[in-house]
Amino acid sequence: MSQKTLITIDIDHREVSRQKSLGAAINLCATAAGFEAKEVCHAVGGIDKAQYSRWISNQEGIKWEKLVSLMDACGNDAPLLWMLHQCGYDLASLRKTESETERALRTEREARMKVEQENAILRGVLMGKAAA
């Protein structure tokens, strides 16, 4: 089983929804990571180029464990997002569950942005009064 990559690659949900098949979404997953077939096989482990070729040409299914390994190695969830799109989910409104650290970081960023906006307004008011 592959290790989860530390690099995550953002995939545009519109690009995912344009894919015609799961095989095309698997190919998008790999190409977005900059992988070619040989590199995908090495990253996922336990597959050869022929099997990968059958996956992307929809001639063979893919086990969940292999799909998770592929997505972890490539740093994106394009095949999973494609499946959700096929089931009618709105990809634009999906988000991953935040960890406590991620939530704390997001709330701090939002608070900082609010303070910066208020600060800009106050500067504008002060500059306006200084000019008058």
| pLDDT tens digits, 50-81 | 999 999 999 999 999 999 999 999 999 999 99
The answer to whether residues 86 and 105 belong to one domain is no
pTM to 2 decimals?
Answer: 0.69
> Which has the closest alpha carbon to 60: 23, 98, 6?
23
Domain check: are 119 and 73 in the same one? no
For 11-62, write each residue's pLDDT tens digit: 888 999 999 999 999 999 999 999 888 888 888 888 888 999 999 999 999 9
* Tokens matching residue 92: 């634009």
Which residues span the domain enclosing 42? 13-93
- Same domain, yes or no: 27 and 68: yes
- Verify that 73 and 33 share a domain, yes or no: yes
Distance CA 29, CA 22 (A): 10
Same domain (yes/no): 82, 34: yes
Domain CATH number, residue 42: 1.10.260.40
Both 89 and 39 in one domain: the answer is yes
Same domain, 35 and 88: yes
Does residue 77 sit in the same domain as residue 117? no
